[in-house]
Structure 1
Amino acid sequence: MWNLSAPWWEFVLRGLIVYGSLLVLLRLSGKRQIGQLTSLDLVLLLVLSNAVQNSMNAGDNSVTAGLILAVTLVGANLVLAWLSWRSRRFENVVEGRPQVLVHEGHVYPDVMKNAYITRDDLHKALRHAGCQRVADVHFAILENDGTISVMVKKEVPQTPRDAASSLWRAPDNDSNDTPV
C-alpha cells in the first residue's frame, strides 16, 4: 500500500512530462476547448485522464505514488501560475492572447476559423450580451479562458423623435444587420 515500485523522482518526472504534454495539446486545440466545455469535450478530458494515468504511475497503484503525483501536478500548476503572473510574455505563451472576433460590426471570419468558433457560438454570445444584430457590436473578444466578451455600441438618440424613429426603422439588407 505504501511501498513504491520505482524511485520517487521517477514519479515526479513522469508527472511533469505528462502535465507539460497535456498543456501543450490543450493549448494547441484552441480556446474553445477550454472555455466552452461541451459533452464531447468533457468525454475527451475524462478519456485523456484515464489514458495518461498509467504513463504517470508506471503501474504503481500505491497511495504514496498517488500522493507524489498529486503534489507534483498541483506544484507544477502553481509554478506556471506564478510565472504567468510575473511575466506577461510567459503568460502569452502559456495562455495565449485575447483575439478580436468582431470590431465595429465587422466579423473577422479568419480569426473565428482559427479559434474554431462557429457563427452560432458567436451569435449565442451576442444574444447573452443583449445584442440583436452584429452591427450593434462595438467589439467581441475571445478571451484566454475561451469566453467571449461583448461590448455593445452605445447610441444615444439626440431627440425623442430620433429615438422613436429608430424603433420603427426597417433593417437594411446588410449581412451585419441580420438578427442573431
Structure 2
Amino acid sequence: MKEIFEWNRLFFNELPEIFILEVIFRSTVMFTILLLTLKLAGKRGVKQLSIFETVIIIALGSAAGDPMFYEDVGIVPAAIVFLTIIILYRAVTWLTGKSKKFEEFIEGKTECLIQDGKFSISSFKKETLAQDEFFSELRIRSIEHLGQVKHAFIETSGEVSVFFYEDKDVQFGLPILPAAFNKKSKIIATDGIHACTFCGHTEEQKPGTSACKVCKKEEWVPAIKTLRIT
C-alpha cells in the first residue's frame, strides 16, 4: 500500500534524476509536433488565437493537469516541462523578432481574399477556406454581394476583416445570399451583367454559354448592385 506524501514518488515518481533529460527531450519533441500540426490545420482551425498561442496553451494545460490527478506523474518532471516550454517560448519569440520569414512561418501572414469586389483565387487556395464558410462570414456583416466589398483579408488570428465601398462606388457583384447564389447555371438565360460563381468576375453576357475571362469557369449567376444595409 502506497503512503501519502511519499516524497520520492510525489516529486520524481521513483524515477532516477537523469530522467529529467528525457523529459526535456520529450517536451521539445511534442512542442514541435503540436506547432506543426496546428500549422497544417490552418488559421481557421485556431480562430481568435494565433497558432503559437494555441500551442502554448495546450502544452501548459497538459503539463499542469497530469500531476494534479495522477499519482504516477511526478511534480518535478512536470515542472521541467513548464520550464522547457517557457524556454522554447522565449526562443521562438526571439526568432520571430529577428526573422520575418520565421515569423510568417509561425504566425502566418495576412492574406487578401477579396480585391475590388473579386476573389483573390490564389489566397483562397493557400488558406483552404471554403466558399460557403466565407460567404457566411460576409453575411454576418450584412453583405449581400461582393460588389459592396472593396477589400477583405484573413488575419493571422483567422478573423476576416472587411473594408467596404462607399455607397456611390458600389459595383455589380456576385450575390452571396443562398436564394440568389443558388440560381447559378452554365446556361445564361437573359441579357445583362452576370457574375462568375468561382472568382466573382462580372461582365455583360448574352443568352447562351460563356467561359469567364479570368478563371475560365463556366457557371454564372445574374449580378446585383444594391447598397449595403447598415
Flag whether TM exceeds 0.5 (same fold): yes
Say which of 81, 89, 94 aligns to 2:93: 81
Query: Are 1:66 and 2:75 counterparts?
Result: no
Offset at 1:23? 0.5
Contact 1:84 1:90 in 2 (8 A): yes
What residue identity is the alignment partner of 2:76?
A: T
The one-letter amino acid paired with 2:99 is S
Q: Is residue 125–residue 150 contact of structure 1 (8 Å, CA) maintained in 2?
A: no
Separation of aligned partners in 1, 2:116 and 2:106: 29
Give the number of the structure whose residues are more often helix, by fraction: 1
In structure 2, the CA distance between the partners of 1:93 and 1:140, relative to structure 1 (3 Å rule), is same
- Cα distance in 2, alignment partners of residues 28 and 118 from structure 1: 16
> Which of 86, 107, 112 in structure 1 is aligned with 2:119?
107
| 1:29 corresponds to 2:41 | yes
CA positional deviation for 1:130? 4.0
| Distance in 2 between residues matched to 1:130 and 1:88, nearest whole Å | 36
CA distance in 2, matches of 1:93, 1:114: 13
Which residue is 1:143 aligned to? 155
Larger C-alpha radius of gyration, 1 or 2?
Answer: 2
Deviation per CA, 1:75-98, whole angstroms, max 9, x where unpaired?
A: 322331232233322201222222
- Does 102-111 or 19-28 show the bigger shift? 102-111
C-alpha deviations, 1:121-176, integer Å up to 9, x for none? 2122223444321111111111112111111122448xxxxxxxxxxxxx954354
State the 1:27 CA deviation.
Answer: 0.9
Give the letter for the 1:3 counterpart: F
- Superposed CA RMSD in Å reads 3.4
What residue in structure 1 maps to residue 12 of structure 2? 3
The residue that corresponds to 2:184 in the other structure is none
Match of 2:26 among 2, 8, 14: 14
5+ residue gaps in structure 2?
A: 1-9, 50-56, 67-71, 170-191, 201-222
Counterpart selection for 1:120 from 125, 132, 143:
132
Higher relative contact order, structure no. (Cα contacts within 8 Å, ≥ 6 residues apart) = 1
Residue segments in structure 1 that go unaligned for 5+ positions in a row:
38-44, 55-59, 158-170
Give identity over the alignment, percent. Answer: 22
1:151 alignment partner, SS class: strand
Which aligned segments of 4 or more residues in structure 1 are displaced greater than 4 angstroms? 175-179
Aligned 8 A contact 1:32 1:116 in 2:
no
- Alpha-carbon offset, residue 110 of structure 1: 4.5
Distance 2:121 2:148 in 1: 17
